[in-house]
C-alpha cells in the first residue's frame, strides 16, 4: 500500500512537459495517489496497527525505513486531503497562464513537495528524514519563487531558504547528538531506548524547539512565514501554511516520544512560546493590509494555539495527570487538522480574490460578495472557524485545550496553575483579536461597496470553487461531529504521551461528555436559527419591502471611498499595541482652505525581522567582509591554500 | 430533567426586556423626571414586529442574517446560565467557554452586518466593538476560571452555588475582586456607561447603537431583544455568585429575581452619577478588570 502511494506520486513526476493538459493530468494523478494512500491511513487510524517497509539504501548510516503508525497517519490525513484539493484548485488558478510561464516546473516541484512531506512523516531513519526534510524545503523554495521576475518574490524566497536551513542546522546537531547517545539512526530504536541523561534531554529539547520551531513558525523564528506565503501561488501557500509548517509540529511530537518524561520547564517554555506566538501573531495580522500576509501571520497565531495545547500536555505528563496530557495533546492534534482545513480554505479564497481582481490589497477591495457568492460564503465559514466560533471546528480543538487547562488550573499547585490561568486568559485574548481580524478581512473585502479594484471581479472557476466547498464542508462536519473526531485521536495519543490505550480512552472520555453537550448546543443553535428564519419570513410575508441607499445621516451623495477602510477598522487596536507593533506612518495632512492633496501611508515591519535578524546578519556580513582579502581571484593563491591546508592536516595526523 | 431546569431560561426570555425599563426608570428618578413606562421595551418590540422592511441597496444576505444569528446565539447562551440557585438547562464542564464562544459568534455577525452597509459610521462602531470586546474576553474567562478554582468545579451551574455557599470570611476578598471584574465586563459587553453611552444617538462616541443604525422593523426587534437577553445573562452571573441557598424554591426564585433587578438599578445609578470615559481610557478599565481577575486567582491559590 505504501509502495503504491510513493510510486503514484513518482509517476506523476514523470509526466512533466510544458502544455496545458499537464495541469489536469498532474492534478488527477495527485488526487488519485492521495485517494489510494488514504486507505492505509484510515486503516491505521481505525485499527491502531503499524505498517512497516524497509529497504537497504547505500548511504552511510542510511536505510530506507518507513513506517506508518497512528501519529504519522494523523498528520498524513490533512496532507493527503489538502494536496489533492490544492492540486485541483491549481488547475483553475494557473489556467490560461501556460503562455507566460513554464507550468511543467511548477507541477514538478509541487509533486516533489508532496512527496517530501509524505516522506518526512513516514521516515524512521535520521538520514532519510533529513533528506526528505531538505527535499521539502528546496522544492517549496522553487514554488515560492514561481513569480521570480518580481524583486519582492526573490527576496522572500531567499529569506525562506536561509531560515529553513538555519533550522536544518539545529536539526542536524539534534540528530547527531541523539544518534551518539543511543548508538543508532533508527527512530524506533530511539523510542525504545530513550534519552536517559536529563541534561542531554534538555539540550535536545532546546535544539528540537529551535529547529522544528523554525519550520512551524514559533514567534521569534517565524520571519519567513509572512514573506514566503504571500509570494507563493495561492494553492502552494495553502499547502505550505496548511500542512508543511505542521511537519515542524510533527517533528516535535516525534521527538517527545524519545526524550523521556518532560521536566516542568518544558511545559512553561511551550506555554510561553504559545502565548507569544498566538498573541503577537494575531496582532501583526491585524496591522497588515495584504490579505495573504494577514493569513500568514494567522498561521503563526494558530501554531501558537497548537503549542499551548502541547504545553498543557507536557505539564500533564510531568505531573502524571493523564487527563491533562490527553486533552492538551488531543487539542493540539485536532487543531493541526482543523488549521489545515480552514487555513487551506482561506488561502484558496484569498487566491480566488487575487485572481479575480488582480490585487491583494484589502483597502482596494470591497463588495465582492455580490460577484463572488461562492467564494464569499466559503471564506465566511473559514473566517468563523479560525476565530474559534461554536458550530465550527476551530471551537472544538480550542475547547479541548481550554478544558485541559481549566482542569489543571483548578487542581494543581501554583507553579502550574498560574501559567495555565495565563493560557486561559490568553486564549480569550487570541480569540477576541482573531474575531477582530477576520471581521476586518471578510467585512472589508467582501461587504460594502466595491472600491477601486473590485468593480470587474468575477466568480472563480469551478475547479477552484470545488476544493473550497469541500474544505468548508469539512469545517462544518468536524464542528458537528466533534465527539467522533476526538474518538479517532485515541490511537494517536496512546502512541504519543506514554499512555496506554485504556488510559487514553478513559481520559478522553472526560472530554466526550462536555463535547456531546456542546455539540447538542450547536445543533440547538442551528435549529433555533432556522426557526427564526421561518418566523421572520412569515412575519414579513405580504409586507412592504423597500430598497434605498444606506443612511448617511442626511448626506445623500456617499461614494465608495467614504467607507471605513481596513486600516481604520484596525486602528484602535494597532494604536493600543503600538509599543509592540512599531507601525510606521507617513502623514501629509491637508492644509489651507482648499487642500489639494493629503496622504497617509502606514507600514508595519516585522518585529523580529527588523530588530533581531537584520542587524545580526549585517554584523555577520561585516565580520565576514574582514576575510575578503583572502579571496583575490588568483588561482595560484587558491592552490596554495589547498596545499597549506593539506600539509597542516598531515602534520596534525602525525602529531 | 426536572421542570425547575426550565426556570432560568423561562425567566430570561420573559423578564429580560424589563431590565432596560428599570435602568431607564432609575436614571429618570436621578434626573428628577417621570421617565418612560417600565414596560417600554415590550411595547417597542411589539411595534417593531409589525413593521415592514427598508434595506439599503448596498447590503447582502449577511445584513439580514446578522440579527437572526445574534438572537439564536443569545437564546442558546441563555440556556447555559443558571438563575440564582436554579441550575441551567444545559450544564457541562467548561461550559462558560461555550458561553463566551456564543457571545463571540453574536458579535461576529453584528459587526459583519454593520460593515455590510458600507457606512463609515457603522464601520467606526464595529471597529470599537471588536476592540473593546477583545480586551473584555480575557477578563471574563479569567474571572470565571478563578471562580472555578474556588469552587473546585467546572460548570457554571455548579460553580456558582459552591461559591455563593462558601464562607464569606474565607472567600470574601476573592469574591469581591471577581465581582468587580465581572461588573466591568457587564458594563462593557452591554454597551453601558462608562464604556458606551446608549443615549447619545448619532454621535461618534457610540459603539453598539451605531452598529445597528440601518436595521429596522423585525430585524431591529431581534437585535433589541438579544441585547436585553445578553444584559440579563451577565446580571444573572453576578447574582448567582452572591445569593446563597435559602432552602425554599419560592424564596430562592423571588430573591434571584430581586437580585437581577437590583443589578439593573446599580447599572442605572452608575449611568446617572458618572460620565462616559474617553475612548482611550476604556482599554485601561478593561485591562484593569483582567488584572483584578488575575489578582483574585493569585489570592485564591493559598
Alpha carbon separation from A133 to A173, A212, A362 (Å, rounded):
15, 11, 35
pLDDT bucket at A351, cuts 50 / 70 / 90: very high
Cβ contacts (< 8 Å) between B51 and chain A: which residues? 543
Distance (Å, whole) CA A362 – CA B266: 44
Cβ contacts (< 8 Å) between B135 and chain A: which residues? 429, 432
pLDDT, position A497: 59
Closest Cβ–Cβ partner in A421, A514, A533 for B145? A421
A309 to chain B, closest Cα gap in Å: 16
Q: What is the pLDDT of residues B239-266, one digit of tens each?
A: 988 888 787 888 888 999 999 999 999 9
Q: How far is CA A109 from the centre of its chain?
A: 19
Are the beta carbons of A496 and A330 closer than 8 angstroms? Answer: no
Q: How far is CA A132 from the centre of its chain?
A: 19
pLDDT bucket at B100, cuts 50 / 70 / 90: very high
In terms of CA atoms, which chain B residue is nearest residue A537? B218
Q: Give the bridge partners for A51, in sequence order.
A: A68
In terms of CA atoms, which chain A residue is nearest residue B130? A436
Distance (Å, whole) CA A483 – CA A487: 6
Are the beta carbons of A278 and A428 closer than 8 angstroms? Answer: no
Q: What is the pLDDT of residues A391-403, one digit of tens each?
A: 899 999 999 999 9
Distance (Å, whole) CA B235 – CA B256: 10
Q: What is the largest CA-CA distance in chain A?
A: 103
Cβ contacts (< 8 Å) between A549 and chain B: which residues? 56-58
- The helix/strand/coil state of B193 is coil
Question: Which is more confident, B4 or A337?
Answer: A337
pLDDT, position B75: 95
- The helix/strand/coil state of A102 is coil
Are the beta carbons of A315 and A328 closer than 8 angstroms? Answer: yes
Q: SS3 breakdown of chain A: % helix, strand, coil, rounded to 5? A: 75, 5, 20
pLDDT bucket at B218, cuts 50 / 70 / 90: very high
DSSP annotation of A290? B
Question: Which is more confident, A613 or A376?
Answer: A376
Q: Do A576 and B283 touch (CB under 8 A)?
A: yes
Mean pLDDT of A80-108: 81
Cβ contacts (< 8 Å) between B95 and chain A: which residues? 514, 517-518
Q: Is A612 exposed, middle or buried (0-12, 13-18, 19+ CB in 10 A)?
A: middle
Closest Cβ–Cβ partner in A395, A417, A570 for B101? A395
Give me the residue spans of the domains in chain B.
7-15+38-264+274-300
pLDDT, position B237: 93
Q: Do A390 and B120 touch (CB under 8 A)?
A: no
- The helix/strand/coil state of A588 is strand
Residue B104 has pLDDT above 80, yes or no: yes
Cβ contacts (< 8 Å) between B226 and chain A: which residues? none
**ipTM value:** 0.95
Distance (Å, whole) CA B83 – CA B86: 5
Are the beta carbons of A9 and A118 closer than 8 angstroms? Answer: yes
**Residue from A381, A403, A421, A562 to probe the interface with B (highest B Cβ count within 10 Å):** A421
Q: What angle do CA B266, B271, B274 make, to 5 degrees?
A: 115
Q: Do B57 and A562 touch (CB under 8 A)?
A: no
Map A366-380 to HEC letters. CCCCCCCHHHHHHHH
With b for 16 or more beta-carbon neighbours within 10 A and e for fewer, the A477-496 pattern comes to ebbbebbebbebbbbbbbbb
Secondary element (H or E) of residue A51: strand A51-56
Report the half-sphere exposure of A86 (CA within 13 A, side-chain side): 35
Residue B16 has pLDDT above 60, yes or no: yes
Closest Cβ–Cβ partner in A402, A431, A444 for B137? A431
Q: Do A436 and B130 touch (CB under 8 A)?
A: yes
What are the residue ranges of helices labelled H in chain B? Answer: 7-31, 40-49, 61-78, 95-116, 120-151, 156-165, 168-189, 208-211, 217-242, 249-273, 282-300
Question: Which is more confident, A164 or A99?
Answer: A164
Are the beta carbons of A457 and A370 closer than 8 angstroms? Answer: no
Closest Cβ–Cβ partner in B53, B101, B133 for A545? B53
Q: Can you give the C-alpha Rg of chain B in angstroms?
A: 19
Cβ contacts (< 8 Å) between A448 and chain B: which residues? 58, 115-118
Q: Do A410 and B73 touch (CB under 8 A)?
A: no
- The helix/strand/coil state of B2 is coil
Cβ contacts (< 8 Å) between A440 and chain B: which residues? 130
Residue B66 cell numbers, joined: 446578522
Q: What is the pLDDT of residues A182-214, one digit of tens each?
A: 888 888 888 888 888 888 899 999 999 999 999
Short-list A146, A148, A121, CA closest to A132: A121
Q: Do B111 and A570 touch (CB under 8 A)?
A: no
Cβ contacts (< 8 Å) between A391 and chain B: which residues? 105
pLDDT, position A6: 59
Distance (Å, whole) CA A83 – CA A91: 13
Q: What is the largest CA-CA distance in chain B?
A: 61
Short-list A624, A394, A500, A388, CA closest to A48: A500
Q: Do A429 and B118 touch (CB under 8 A)?
A: no
Task: Please write down the long-range contacts of B158-165, taking CB distance under 8 Å and 24 or more positions apart.
Answer: B158/B87, B158/B91, B160/B82, B160/B237, B160/B240, B160/B241, B161/B82, B161/B85, B161/B240, B161/B245, B163/B241, B164/B85, B164/B240, B164/B241, B164/B242, B164/B243, B164/B244, B164/B245, B165/B244, B165/B245
Cβ contacts (< 8 Å) between B59 and chain A: which residues? 550
pLDDT, position B68: 96
Residue B241 cell numbers, joined: 455568585
A79 to chain B, closest Cα gap in Å: 29
A627 to chain B, closest Cα gap in Å: 52
Residues, chain A, total? 655
A446 to chain B, closest Cα gap in Å: 8
Give me the residue spans of the domains in chain A.
1-260
**Residue from B110, B123, B299 to probe the interface with A (highest A Cβ count within 10 Å):** B123
In terms of CA atoms, which chain B residue is nearest residue A547? B55
Main-chain dihedrals φ then ψ at residue A260, nearest 5 degrees = 80, -175
Q: Do B115 and A439 touch (CB under 8 A)?
A: yes
Main-chain dihedrals φ then ψ at residue A371, nearest 5 degrees = -75, -25
Distance (Å, whole) CA A262 – CA A202: 9
Q: What is the pLDDT of residues A123-174, one digit of tens each?
A: 888 999 999 999 999 999 998 988 888 888 888 898 899 999 999 999 999 9
A447 to chain B, closest Cα gap in Å: 5
Report the half-sphere exposure of A651 (CA within 13 A, side-chain side): 6
Main-chain dihedrals φ then ψ at residue A361, nearest 5 degrees = -75, 115
Short-list B15, B5, B2, CA closest to B257: B15
Cβ contacts (< 8 Å) between A387 and chain B: which residues? 104, 108
pLDDT, position A99: 67
Secondary element (H or E) of residue A600: strand A599-603
Mean pLDDT of A311-332: 90
Q: Give the bridge partners for A599, in sequence order.
A: A588
Question: Which is more confident, A67 or A97?
Answer: A67
Mean pLDDT of A283-297: 92
Residue A48 has pLDDT above 80, yes or no: no
Q: Do B58 and A411 touch (CB under 8 A)?
A: no
pLDDT, position A17: 47
Q: Is A620 exposed, middle or buried (0-12, 13-18, 19+ CB in 10 A)?
A: exposed
Cβ contacts (< 8 Å) between B111 and chain A: which residues? 435, 439, 443
Mean pLDDT of B14-22: 94
Q: Can you give the C-alpha Rg of chain A in angstroms?
A: 26
Q: Do B119 and A563 touch (CB under 8 A)?
A: yes
Q: Do B76 and A521 touch (CB under 8 A)?
A: yes
Distance (Å, whole) CA B216 – CA B211: 12
DSSP annotation of A555? -
Q: Do B117 and A418 touch (CB under 8 A)?
A: no
pLDDT bucket at B229, cuts 50 / 70 / 90: very high
Distance (Å, whole) CA A337 – CA A345: 12
Question: Which is more confident, A495 or B237?
Answer: B237
Cβ contacts (< 8 Å) between B217 and chain A: which residues? 540
- The helix/strand/coil state of B38 is coil
Q: How many CB pairs under 8 A join A and B?
A: 262
Distance (Å, whole) CA A224 – CA A217: 8
Cβ contacts (< 8 Å) between A547 and chain B: which residues? 54-57
Q: What is the pLDDT of residues A416-431, one digit of tens each?
A: 899 999 999 999 999 9
Short-list A318, A184, A314, A186, CA closest to A252: A314
Q: Residue A429: which residues within 8 A CB-CB, separation 6 or more?
A: A279, B134, B135, B137, B138
A558 to chain B, closest Cα gap in Å: 9
Closest Cβ–Cβ partner in B59, B108, B138 for A425? B138
Distance (Å, whole) CA A170 – CA A208: 7
**Residue from A418, A426, A427, A536 to probe the interface with B (highest B Cβ count within 10 Å):** A536
Amino acid at each position: 500500500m505504501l509502495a503504491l502511494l510513493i510510486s503514484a506520486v513518482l509517476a506523476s513526476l514523470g509526466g512533466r512537459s510544458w502544455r496545458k493538459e499537464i495541469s489536469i493530468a498532474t492534478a488527477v494523478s495527485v488526487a488519485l495517489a492521495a485517494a489510494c494512500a488514504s486507505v492505509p491511513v484510515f486503516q491505521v487510524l481505525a485499527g491502531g496497527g503499524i505498517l512497516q517497509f524497509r529497504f537497504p539504501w547505500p548511504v552511510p548510516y542510511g536505510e530506507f525505513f518507513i513506517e506508518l503508525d497512528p501519529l504519522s497517519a494523523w498528520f498524513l490525513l490533512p496532507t493527503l486531503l489538502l494536496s489533492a484539493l490544492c492540486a485541483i484548485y491549481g488547475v483553475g488558478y494557473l489556467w490560461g497562464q501556460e503562455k507566460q510561464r513554464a507550468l511543467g516546473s511548477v507541477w514538478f516541484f509541487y509533486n516533489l513537495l508532496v512527496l517530501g512531506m509524505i516522506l518526512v512523516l513516514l521516515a524512521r531513519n535520521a538520514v532519510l528524514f533529513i533528506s526528505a526534510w531538505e527535499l521539502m524545503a528546496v522544492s517549496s523554495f522553487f514554488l515560492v519563487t514561481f513569480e521570480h521576475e518580481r524583486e519582492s518574490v526573490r527576496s522572500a524566497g531567499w529569506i525562506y531558504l536561509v531560515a529553513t536551513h538555519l533550522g536544518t542546522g539545529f536539526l542536524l546537531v539534534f540528530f547527531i547528538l541523539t544518534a551518539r547517545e543511543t548508538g543508532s539512526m533508527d527512530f524506533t530504536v530511539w523510542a525504545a531506548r530513550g534519552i536517559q541523561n536529563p541534561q542531554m534531554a534538555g539540550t535536545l529539547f532546546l535544539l528540537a524547539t529551535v529547529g522544528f520551531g523554525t519550520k512551524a513558525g514559533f514567534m521569534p523564528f517565524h520571519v519567513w512565514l509572512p514573506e514566503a506565503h504571500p509570494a507563493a501561488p495561492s494553492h502552494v501557500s495553502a499547502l505550505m501554511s496548511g500542512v508543511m509548517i505542521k511537519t515542524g509540529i510533527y517533528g516535535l511530537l516525534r521527538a517527545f516520544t524519545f526524550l523521556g518524561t518532560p521536566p516542568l520547564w518544558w511545559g512553561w517554555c511551550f506555554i510561553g512560546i504559545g502565548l507569544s506566538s498566538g498573541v503577537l501573531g494575531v496582532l501583526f495580522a491585524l496591522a497588515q493590509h495584504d490579505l495573504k500576509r494577514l493569513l500568514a501571520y494567522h498561521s503563526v497565531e494558530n501554531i501558537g494555539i497548537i503549542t499551548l495545547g502541547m504545553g498543557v500536555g507536557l505539564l500533564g505528563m510531568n505531573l502524571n495527570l493523564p487527563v491533562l496530557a490527553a486533552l492538551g495533546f488531543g487539542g493540539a492534534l485536532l487543531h493541526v487538522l482543523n488549521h489545515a482545513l480552514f487555513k487551506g480554505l482561506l488561502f484558496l479564497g484569498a487566491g480566488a480574490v487575487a485572481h479575480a481582481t488582480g490585487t491583494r490589497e484589502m483597502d482596494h477591495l470591497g463588495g465582492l460578495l455580490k460577484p463572488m457568492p461562492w467564494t464569499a460564503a466559503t471564506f465566511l465559514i473559514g473566517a468563523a472557524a479560525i476565530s474559534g466560533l461554536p458550530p465550527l471546528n476551530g471551537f472544538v480543538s480550542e475547547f479541548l485545550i481550554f478544558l485541559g487547562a481549566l482542569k489543571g488550573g483548578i487542581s494543581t499547585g501554583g507553579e502550574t496553575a498560574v501559567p495555565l490561568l495565563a493560557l486561559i486568559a490568553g486564549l480569550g485574548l487570541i480569540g477576541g483579536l482573531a474575531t477582530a481580524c477576520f471581521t476586518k478581512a471578510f467585512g472589508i473585502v467582501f461587504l460594502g461597496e466595491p472600491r477601486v479594484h473590485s468593480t470587474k471581479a468575477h466568480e472563480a472557476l469551478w475547479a477552484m470553487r470545488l476544493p473550497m466547498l469541500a474544505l468548508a464542508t469539512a469545517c462544518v462536519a468536524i464542528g458537528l461531529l466533534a465527539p467522533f473526531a476526538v474518538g479517532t485521536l485515541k490511537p494517536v495519543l496512546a502512541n504519543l504521551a506514554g499512555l496506554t490505550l485504556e488510559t487514553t480512552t478513559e481520559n478522553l472520555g472526560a472530554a466526550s461528555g462536555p463535547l456531546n453537550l456542546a455539540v447538542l448546543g450547536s445543533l440547538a443553535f442551528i435549529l433555533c436559527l432556522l426557526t427564526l428564519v421561518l418566523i421572520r419570513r412569515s412575519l414579513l410575508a405580504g409586507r412592504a419591502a423597500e430598497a434605498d441607499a444606506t443612511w448617511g445621516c442626511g448626506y445623500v451623495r456617499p461614494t465608495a471611498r467614504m467607507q471605513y477602510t481596513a486600516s481604520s477598522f484596525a486602528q484602535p487596536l494597532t494604536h493600543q499595541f503600538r509599543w509592540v507593533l512599531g507601525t510606521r506612518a507617513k502623514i501629509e495632512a491637508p492644509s489651507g482652505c482648499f487642500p489639494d492633496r493629503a496622504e497617509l501611508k502606514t507600514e508595519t515591519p516585522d518585529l523580529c525581522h527588523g530588530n533581531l535578524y537584520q542587524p545580526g546578519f549585517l554584523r555577520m556580513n561585516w565580520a565576514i567582509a574582514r576575510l575578503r582579502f583572502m579571496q583575490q581571484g588568483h588561482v595560484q593563491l587558491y592552490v596554495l591554500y589547498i596545499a597549506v591546508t593539506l600539509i597542516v592536516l598531515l602534520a596534525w595526523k602525525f602529531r | 430533567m426536572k421542570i425547575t431546569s426550565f426556570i432560568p431560561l423561562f425567566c430570561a426570555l420573559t423578564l429580560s426586556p424589563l431590565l432596560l425599563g428599570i435602568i431607564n426608570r432609575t436614571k429618570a428618578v436621578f434626573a428628577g423626571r417621570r421617565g418612560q413606562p417600565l414596560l417600554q421595551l415590550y411595547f417597542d418590540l411589539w411595534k417593531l414586529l409589525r413593521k415592514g422592511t427598508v434595506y439599503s441597496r448596498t447590503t447582502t444576505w449577511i445584513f439580514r442574517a446578522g440579527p437572526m444569528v445574534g438572537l439564536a446565539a443569545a437564546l442558546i447562551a441563555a440556556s447555559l446560565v443558571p438563575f440564582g440557585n436554579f441550575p441551567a438547562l444545559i450544564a457541562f464542564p467548561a461550559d462558560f467557554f461555550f458561553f463566551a464562544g456564543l457571545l463571540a459568534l453574536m458579535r461576529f455577525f453584528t459587526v459583519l452586518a454593520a460593515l455590510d452597509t458600507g457606512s463609515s459610521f457603522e464601520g467606526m462602531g464595529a471597529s470599537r466593538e471588536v476592540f473593546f470586546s477583545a480586551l473584555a474576553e480575557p477578563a471574563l474567562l479569567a474571572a470565571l476560571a478563578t471562580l472555578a478554582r474556588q469552587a473546585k468545579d467546572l460548570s457554571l451551574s455548579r460553580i456558582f452555588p459552591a461559591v455563593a455557599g462558601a464562607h464569606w470570611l474565607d472567600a470574601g476578598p476573592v469574591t469581591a475582586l471577581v465581582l468587580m471584574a465581572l461588573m466591568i465586563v457587564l458594563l462593557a459587553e452591554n454597551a453601558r456607561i462608562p464604556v458606551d453611552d446608549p443615549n447619545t444617538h448619532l454621535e461618534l462616541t457610540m459603539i453598539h447603537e451605531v452598529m445597528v443604525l440601518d436595521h429596522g422593523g423585525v430585524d431591529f426587534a431581534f437585535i433589541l431583544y438579544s441585547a436585553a437577553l445578553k444584559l440579563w445573562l451577565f446580571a444573572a452571573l453576578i447574582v448567582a455568585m452572591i445569593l446563597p441557598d435559602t432552602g425554599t424554591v419560592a424564596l430562592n426564585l423571588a430573591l434571584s429575581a430581586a437580585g437581577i433587578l437590583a443589578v439593573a438599578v446599580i447599572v442605572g445609578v452608575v449611568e446617572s452619577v458618572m460620565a462616559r470615559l474617553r475612548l482611550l481610557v476604556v482599554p485601561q478599565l478593561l485591562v484593569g478588570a483582567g488584572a483584578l481577575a488575575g489578582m483574585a486567582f493569585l489570592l485564591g491559590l493559598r
